[in-house]
Amino acid sequence: MNRKERKAAAKVNATSAQARTSATTLSVADAMAEARRHFQGQRYMQAQDYCHRILASQPSHTESLNLLGIIAQASGHHNRAIKYFKKAIASAEPNAPCHYNLACSYQAMNQRDEAAANFTKAIAFGLSDNDVEGFILQNAGISACVERAKQKWPQSLRPEEMFGAAGIAPFASDIFLQCAMESVLIKWLPLEVFLTHVRSALLQMAAADNSQTTGDEVIAFCCALARQCFLNEYVYAQTEDETRLAEQLREALLKKLTSETEIAPLTLVAVASYFPLHSLAGAESLLSMDWPEAVSGLLQQQVREPLEERQDRRTIAALTPVEDSVSLQVMKQYEESPYPPWTANSFDGLSREPHPDMEILIAGCGTGQHACQLAQYFHDARVLAVDISLTSLAYARRKAREKGMKNIEFAQGDILKLGTIGRTFDRVESIGVLHHLADPKEGFRVLLSLLRPGGRMLIGLYSEAARRSIVEARALIAERGFRATAEDIRKFRQDVLRNNQRWNELTRSPDFYSMSACRDFLFNVMEHRFTIPGIKALLDEYALSFQGFVLPPEVTAKFQQQFAGAADLTNLDHWHTFENANPSTFRHMYIFSVCKA
């Protein structure tokens, strides 16, 4: 080492020593802030020093381990990065960011299976929709396609215009996109447009490729797209020519099923991107054929699980008859469009409360996501989950079985008749259901009659103020004669997208991005809306104690800037004043709890 090099090394060592000395006098939080500051300034050695100093006193400090992994990753030392990320995960599971970072290192080392497993965990453990969209757009090819589609919108692009000569094959190597399509509903318009074009290109590939020798990587990618289409219930727009070609491919597939002729994977996957495979006559026979692993996953979703639900329908108990004319219409809607569709997101991070003697009623459990969350939180309570739709209940029961939930009883019934079942409960929850009854107040009275003294009830109701744009949209739907069919829902969505500035509030809602959710959101056969004074009058009528609204922390903080007292949080007059000034406060709905004396 020459003199100049020794001098530079001494300077680095002195800086590191200074950082170590400073770290000993800082709190862990301050030392971590310093580590982040040095990292952002690309002073990696100093950032590492702060992290190691923290770990000397707290060996399982998750953020330090994660940052050390990121530094190793940035330097191309992925084996070392993997060790740090695994330690961080072991110290704080579930950990979505660490699983994502770990997956990136596995992907860099071309370990696809490990990368996919950890990307899937990252999504399940709580990556936000914005995170998912952002990570997908890190792929420069996807970003370029999204931009081309934006510039051409509302006109569509031919596959060669959208993707270039290479077609969709380059996207097949994007493991994160594939995992996202398989495990979460994509709820962002630019990505919907991109995937709509990808699906059209897939259809043309399948129709034109007589040899059907597509590689496994492309087949796996196309299977993920088909699974996304199943998740959103085929809500993507399709041209008449596209529909005709998809129907022709479906007929060709049916003939091969009947004649027991070999079916090319690409043909099967293309059809599954436009029609659910379980709707095909003889779909069960697909399960006994040899397929690539990715196709087996597609068949699990589109054939095996729906057949399992079909069996479950026959064994679900009926607590009450369904006779009310509006209830029968609502039941028909949710039999045809069970809501909401959901994937097997992990609830492992959910805290738990012991309540061994508690009995809980969920009135209107739909497809069971909320029921599973509640049953895990109150893990030793007994939960009765009731819904009017057998299709929804069968879906819910399968999901609960997948998650090992043994404390939920599912049953069919009409809320208006639940007073006849001869049972009472410590807790009653009915979120987003009463406003679809013929008489919501009667439904509320029935549920209250099932609540034990001292019990708590959680209710969700639509807000008149927050749903003004939805009321306008429903008026437009009626004016144009759109029906609650898949074809008309697709047409209405395209009308909305062509005038996105006016209907921006609709396209920002996650309910815009699947068929059943859009039907529930905008095409519901019955909808009532409420005001805070109306809720107050209802609670006063039954002498109930209002316990507060369930809202994001930032909304509550904004309210408290105007009404600072703790008692103000349960003052409905103050909330009415606040909503008048902030009409979108309850854009999802009023969700509030009450206690019975």
pLDDT digits (tens, 9 = 90+) for 105-122: 999 999 999 999 999 999
Provide the 3-class DSSP secondary structure of residue 18: helix
State mean pLDDT over 179-183. Answer: 95
pLDDT at 153 over 80: no
> Concatenated DSSP letters for 50-89?
HHHHHHHH-TT-HHHHHHHHHHHHHTT-HHHHHHHHHHHH
Higher pLDDT, 253 or 16: 253
Q: Where are the alpha helices (DSSP H) in 209-303?
A: 216-231, 240-259, 265-272, 293-299
pLDDT digits (tens, 9 = 90+) for 37-68: 999 999 999 999 999 999 999 999 999 999 99
Q: Which of 470, 526, 527, 518 is nearest to 494 (CA)?
A: 518
> Which range is least confidently modeled, 209-213, 320-324, 432-436?
209-213
pLDDT digits (tens, 9 = 90+) for 389-404: 999 999 999 999 998 8
pLDDT digits (tens, 9 = 90+) for 260-279: 889 999 999 999 999 999 99
- 409 Cβ contact list (under 8 Å, min separation 6): 382, 383, 384, 385
Looking at residue 9, its pLDDT comes to 47
The token pair at 374 is 């509640």
C-alpha span between 385 and 180 (Å, rounded): 30
State mean pLDDT over 298-317. Answer: 96
Q: What is the pTM of this model?
A: 0.90
Which residues are registered as beta bridge partners of 409? 384
Per-residue pLDDT band for 126 (boundaries 50, 70, 90) equals confident
Per-residue pLDDT band for 129 (boundaries 50, 70, 90) equals confident
Looking at residue 20, its pLDDT comes to 47
C-alpha span between 399 and 154 (Å, rounded): 38
Dmax (CA) for the chain in angstroms is 94
pLDDT digits (tens, 9 = 90+) for 453-488: 999 999 999 999 999 999 999 999 999 999 999 999
Q: Are 435 and 458 within 8 A, CB to CB?
A: no
pLDDT at 511 over 70: yes
pLDDT digits (tens, 9 = 90+) for 310-363: 999 999 999 999 999 999 999 999 999 999 888 765 454 556 777 788 999 999
The token pair at 363 is 């009135």
C-alpha span between 227 and 308 (Å, rounded): 18
Domains of the chain with CATH codes: 3-134 (1.25.40.10), 148-310 (no CATH), 325-465+529-595 (3.40.50.150), 468-522 (no CATH)
pLDDT digits (tens, 9 = 90+) for 520-530: 999 999 999 99
pLDDT at 542 over 90: yes
Per-residue pLDDT band for 428 (boundaries 50, 70, 90) equals very high
Torsion sign, CA atoms 122, 128, 130, 133: positive
Q: Supply the mean pLDDT for the chain.
A: 91
Looking at residue 19, its pLDDT comes to 45
Looking at residue 160, its pLDDT comes to 86
Looking at residue 350, its pLDDT comes to 55
Residue 289 exposure: Cα atoms within 13 Å on the Cβ side: 21
State mean pLDDT over 89-103. Answer: 93
Which helix (DSSP H) or strand (DSSP E) does residue 533 occupy?
helix 532-541
pLDDT digits (tens, 9 = 90+) for 548-575: 999 999 999 999 999 998 899 999 999 9
- Strand spans (E) along 70-151: none
Looking at residue 212, its pLDDT comes to 54
Looking at residue 213, its pLDDT comes to 58
